[in-house]
Every structure is written in structure tokens, then in C-alpha cells.
A and B are shown apart, each in its own frame.
Chain A
Amino acid sequence: MSTGTGTGGVRDARIHDIGYRHYEGRRLGRSYARRSLITHSLRGAYGLGRSARHKVLPFGLFGITAIPAIVMVAVAITTGLDELPIEYTSYALFMQPILGLYIALAAPQMVSLDLRFKTIPLYFSRPVERNDYVAAKFAALSLALFLFVSVPLLIAYAGGLLGKLGFAEQTSGFARGLVAAAVFAVLHAAIALLVASLTPRRGFGVAAVIATLTVPYFAVTAVQVVASEQGSPGAVEWLGLFSPGTLLDGIQAAFLGGVSEFPDELEPSGAAAACYPLVAAGLVVLCSYLLTRRYRKAGL
């Protein structure tokens, strides 16, 4: 950039084309690209880096999820309860409808757009491999869901400590709540991502994810009630294995000291209880495998 003297002594600014400059700096390679994709996708899940319109729903839903945490802290403190009305471990289950909506929003946002606008070949023509893409998207959605659930838990925990609800009890509850949140996030991310990746149409993706998360849950819950009334609690605990929601409920009741929403607050035990984490892990592995298969064909 320099200035010269124009006619009549007017100084006119000139832009000089400095030509093409080569890049001599570092190239950070595949793992850096994978991390960048995680960050980019995680931000996308909350509408960050996009127009205000895209931030309304994620943050609106996040607000709705956080409000009960604030309310229950307030209630516990003002009415002098010695524990919070909702356990940390069952918070995700309590907020399930809202979380379901958020997952249905975030999962298609994460994968359908790349499919729909055929951006995938641009990723695969770079150092990242197909599995890196899948792993990054999976990690990003899991993280997004974990944050969605764990931040309200953190609010409740902070409130609980301020209200002097008993440090040891609160801390152990909070820690178990975080584990439940992590299980919830990983399990639901795997399922929702797979469903969303099957269609480039975002609307279909949203509907399909909601259906996949709710239909089995309501079906299992209904059959559980019937089984319970027929007097077969054994069937209730085995039935719980057949939907992501009840799976999580069973895990938190059997292993994390929570109370289930199964009929009669039944807690899975014995062989059935052992199956809960196994089925959950199996589902995650299966969904991840199918996702990588899906992306073997998609794109370039």
C-alpha cells in the first residue's frame, strides 16, 4: 500500500496487487483436521457461527432444560428440603421430551447438510479419512448432548452446595449424574446420527430421529405396564432393554443409585441388569459401524 500524488495535488490511495504468496507455514495434518471438524460441528450444534435464526431453537431448548434445575434449587432452599426434588441421575429422563427435540434438531444439522449440499467430497479430498469424519461427527454430537444435560446438573449442584444440602451426598449424586449424562449422550448421539445420516432431507431427518427415540420408548413403557399388571416383573426388566430411554433408565437405576420410572419403581437385577450396559454398548458399536458403512458409499 502506498500513496501517490494525483492531479491537483489530491492524494489518492492505491491498492497494489502484491501477487500470489505461497504458504510456507506448518500443515498440521489429519488429527488437527479431525479436531477442527469436532469444534466446527459442536459449534454448529448450538448454531454458533451461523445466523441468529439458527441460535434460537438450540438455546431456547437449552433454557427450558435448565429452568427446572434452577427452580428445584430454589424450592429446596426456600422450603428447607435436605435433598433436591429430582435426582441428578434421572434429570435427563425427566427432561426427555425436550432433549429428544434438541437431538432431532442437532443430529440432522450435523450430517444432513453435508449430504444435501454435497460438501462431503470436499472433506474426503483432504487429509481426513472417511472414518475420521464419522468419528468427529459422533464425538461432536456426544459432546453437544453431554453439555446440554450436564450444565443444568452443574447449576443444580452449585445451587445445592450454596443451599448447604450436604456436600458429600450432593457431590456423589452429581458425579453419578454426570456418568448418566455421558451414557445418555453417547447412546443417543450414535442412534440419532445414524438415523439422520440416512437422509439428505433435514425435515425427514428431524421426524425420523423423533420417531426412533419416542416410538420404542412409549411402546416399551406401555407393554411394561401391561406386564406389571399381569404380575410378571421379570418381563418388565427384560422389556426395558428394547428402547434407548428405558435402557438408560435401567442403567441409572441398577448402577447409579437412581430410581427407575418402571412400573412400581422396579430396579433391574441379576442377569437382566447386566444386560443393560451390554446392550447399550452394543447399540453404540453397531450404530457406529453402520455409520462408517454409510459413509463408505456417500460422497466422492
Chain B
Amino acid sequence: MIRTERLTKRYPRVTALDGLTVDIGPGVTGLVGANGAGKSTLIKILLGLAPATEGTAAVLGRDAAREGGAIREQVGYMPEHDCLPPDVSATEFVVHMARMSGLPASAARERTADTLRHVGLYEERYRPMGGYSTGMKQRVKLAQALVHDPKLVLLDEPTNGLDPAGRDEMLGLIRRVHADFGISVLVTSHLLGELERTSDHIVVIDGGKLLRSQAIAAFTEVTASLAVEVTDSDTHPDGAAALLAALGGRGLAATAGTGHLVHVDAADEAAYDVVRDVIADLGLGLIRMEQRRHRIAEVFQDAQEAVQ
């Protein structure tokens, strides 16, 4: 879908992208980076709206520098900021935007009705957009990016300014864009957590450089490690330390985690029983015992430490 090769963009004062090489396939791809990491610059170059200083970028197999127009016909873009005129209705606005994408008038109207329904806008679509909630506005912004049935949509911080419920709805909608509509998505965010649930693939950039590009499964794969949390008791004022010592006595490798957590290397299922028995013998309360998953945040931290 998207392929960049040593892509570099230098502005007079800053280097926004620094030799970025990524290859993004179909599906939902999360582009993660702090503010100023180069996400918006990358989108501009991909749409053929800004020339790269060095390197190349290709979208849908077309060169972004030379075939920007052809790319923009097949790609949808949802900007980060507000972009809706308040005194027109969502229907009128999206119809106009569909025609600007080259759809004939009747098709534009039909696609607008369909798309607004798919993003969850019903009766209110005939009212001026000035009265919409932030969540409704985000839906219209998404609709205008989808109305011409693109092969790929670029969503710039689509959850910005939404409350937790709105955020979940938007993320669900983004998931559907690929799962139900078959449209690939590149979604940017500075929050890892929300992309973790939505994306198939994560690209992490920082300071215009690629930190990591990996399938989500690899990020969060189940490890053999077991996280155990226990209470303290009168006989064992520090329950976690007591557990650690006792487990060592039973031949299980364990390390102390944060707080009352103990990480146990559980090579086979027998280890589970050992942990249970040890805790029962010590007379401690077992709060939880779970398989540890890698959190993306940890990976991100590791990657950043590696760079520094």
C-alpha cells in the first residue's frame, strides 16, 4: 500500500523526516509518534502535496512525487483539525466533497447517503454542522474521506478531542473501515494504547526516524511468564518477598515485579500448581495470577532506550 525508501524531508530549521524506510501492507496500520515526530509531514508527502528532500515514496504503487493527482483520486484523507463549515448540512458538504473527488452528481448523492449511514449519522445529517457534537463532526470528517470509496484512507489523529466513549466508537468504526468496507487504513496517534486495539500493524516513528515496524501480534505475544500478585499477612509482612523465597526453594525461577507482583517463569502447567500450593502453605491471599502479555508501551520504551 505504502512504501518509502530513505525518505527525508528537511525544512529550513528542522528535519521532519530522516531517512525513513517503511513498507506498509493492507489492513489497519497505526502510525505512532509523539507530536512533531513527522507523522503529518509523512502524510503530506504521501498525498503528493510536498516534495521530499531525498528518497522516494510510493502509494498504491504510484510515485507520490510525480503522480500525486492519481494517488489522491484513490486515497481519502481526514485531517486532524476542524475543517467543517458550520452553516451547511453534512449531506450537502459531503456531496460537494464527493464531486470534488470526481464522482458524477447522482453517484455523489447516493454515496453520501450510504457513507453517512455507515459512519452512524442519520436524521441530523440535514442540519447545519455548526450544531454538531465533536463526535458527530469526527464522523462527518471520516465520511468525507470515505465517500469516493478510496482504496486507502489516511486518518490523522481521528480520536483527538473525543471523550472515552466517543473514542471507543471511533476506534470501532476505524476497525470496520477495513473489516467491513475492505479499505486499508493508516491511522496516526500519539497514544499507543488505542492503536494497540485497532491496528494489525504498528509503525513507530520518532524524530523522523523509524523506531519499529511490526505486526501487532508480535508486539503483544503471550510470554511464558506468569504474573502473581499476593497479599501480606501477619506472619509474612512482605508477602511478595516471602513468595519469592519460597518459590526459589521449590526450584522455580522468579523475579520481583513492581509492588506486590512476582514474575514466575512458568515453563509448563505444573508450575501453576506449584505457585498455588506455595501461596496456600504460606497462608497468603492470592489476588491474581495471569499470563503476562507484552504491552506495546514496554516495547516502545525498549526501542527508545535502544536509540538513546
A residues apposed to B, CB below 8 Å:
19-23, 25-30, 32-33, 36-37, 40, 49-51, 54, 113-114, 117-119, 121-129, 300
Which residues from A are CB-within-8-Å of B102?
26-30, 32-33, 126-127
- Given A25-B107, A27-B103, A33-B102, check contact A126 B72 (CB 8 Å): yes
Residues of A within 8 A of B245 (CB): none
Chain A contact residues: helix, strand, loop or mixed: loop
For B47, what are the chain A residues with a Cβ–Cβ distance below 8 Å?
A: 124-125, 300
Q: Which of B79, B83, B87, B100 is in CB contact (< 8 Å) with A36?
A: B100
Contacts of A21 in B (CB 8 A): 114
Distance of A289 from chain B, by nearest CB (Å):
21
Pair A126/B101 contact, Cβ less than 8 Å:
yes
B118 contact from A20, A51, A113, Cβ within 8 A: A20
State the CA gap A20–B173 with chains docked (Å). 13
Closest to B128 in A: A51
Given A27-B73, A51-B87, A121-B83, verify A20-B182 contact (CB < 8 Å): yes
Bound CA–CA A49/B89 (angstroms): 10
Chain A CB within 8 A of B281 CB: no
Task: Say yes or no: A125 contacts B103, CB within 8 Å.
Answer: no
Known: A22-B149, A127-B102. 8 other contacts (CB 8 A): A19-B180, A118-B83, A119-B83, A125-B49, A125-B76, A126-B72, A126-B97, A126-B100
15 contacts between A and B (CB under 8 A): A20-B182, A23-B111, A25-B103, A28-B102, A33-B102, A37-B100, A117-B83, A117-B86, A119-B83, A121-B83, A124-B47, A124-B49, A126-B100, A126-B101, A128-B100
- Is there contact, CB below 8 Å, between B88 and A50? yes
Q: For the complex of A and B, list the 3 residue pairs with the smallest distance between their C-beta atoms, beginning with the closest.
A: A23-B149, A125-B77, A27-B102
- Residue on A nearest B40 in the bound complex, by CB: A300
Q: Does B85 contact A (CB under 8 A)?
A: yes
For the complex formed, measure the closest distance between the CB of A92 and the CB atoms of chain B, giving whole angstroms: 31
Q: How far is the CA of A261 from the CA of B60 in the complex (A)?
A: 62
Enumerate chain A residues within 8 angstroms of B86, measured Cβ to Cβ. 117
- From 64 to 82 in chain B, residues with beta carbon under 8 angstroms from any chain A beta carbon are 69, 72-73, 75-77, 79, 81-82
Residues of A close to B196: CB separation below 8 A: none
**Selected contact of A125 from candidates B72, B92, B181, CB within 8 Å:** B72
B100 close to A123 (CB less than 8 A): yes
Q: Which of A26, A124, A127 has most chain B Cβ within 10 Å?
A: A127
Q: B190 at interface (Cβ–Cβ under 8 A)?
A: no
Whether A33 contacts B49 by the Cβ 8 Å rule is: no
Q: Which residues of A contact B77 (CB under 8 A)?
A: 121-122, 125
Given contacts A20-B180, A121-B79, A127-B72, contact A113 B85 (CB under 8 A): yes
B84 at the interface (CB under 8 A from A): yes
CB distance from B50 to the nearest CB of A (A): 8
A27 near B101: Cβ-Cβ < 8 Å? yes
B212 at the interface (CB under 8 A from A): no
- A28: chain B residues at CB < 8 Å are 102-104
Q: How far is the CB of A27 from chain B (nearest CB, A)?
A: 4
